Amino acid sequence: MNDIQKSVALLLTHARAASEMAYSPYSRARVGASVLDQEGNIHTGCNVENASYGMTQCAERNALAAAINAGMKPGTARTVVIYATGFEVLAPCGACCQVMSELLAEDAVVYSCHDEKNYRSWSIRELLPEPFILN
């Protein structure tokens, strides 16, 4: 196992643990995410659904908010790992892609996993080639 695989496996462990905390009475999809910041710290989040679906908070955005709250500088996160029950690979939603485009490092990688062997990865530009940017 190389260093990247070890890192993804560790982040997957944290994302899977975060998914256990999810509040998902409507979709029943328990999603967890973990973010590796520039200092090597891991921050996690889970999805929190709401009867007004538009108010639902995604695991990815919750993990990034936790990282910012802990002092991570925008544009520096190196890796995001997403874990979801019932999915082999779950791509981030458009809102998460927009937030990640602002908060991740330009060369960051986003992984979606169900286990250490079955995952997919993207750069943020593959997920969102033309993000909304204020000039």
Q: pLDDT tens, 91-131?
A: 999 999 999 999 999 999 999 998 777 889 999 999 999 99
Residue type, 52: S
- Express each pLDDT in 12-58 by its tens digit: 999 999 999 999 999 999 999 999 999 999 999 999 999 999 999 99
Domain assignment present for 117: yes
Domain assignment present for 135: no
Residue among 37, 5, 4, 29 nearest 115 (CA): 5
Domain assignment present for 118: yes
Structural domain for 64, as ranges: 3-127
Domain count, the chain: 1
Looking up residue 25, the CATH number of its domain turns out to be 3.40.140.10
Domain assignment present for 18: yes
Crossing angle of helices 94-103/59-69, nearest 10°?
A: 20
Residue among 115, 76, 108, 118 nearest 127 (CA): 108
Q: Distance between CA 63 and CA 47 in Å, rounded?
A: 10
* Residues annotated as catalytic (active site), given as ranges: 60
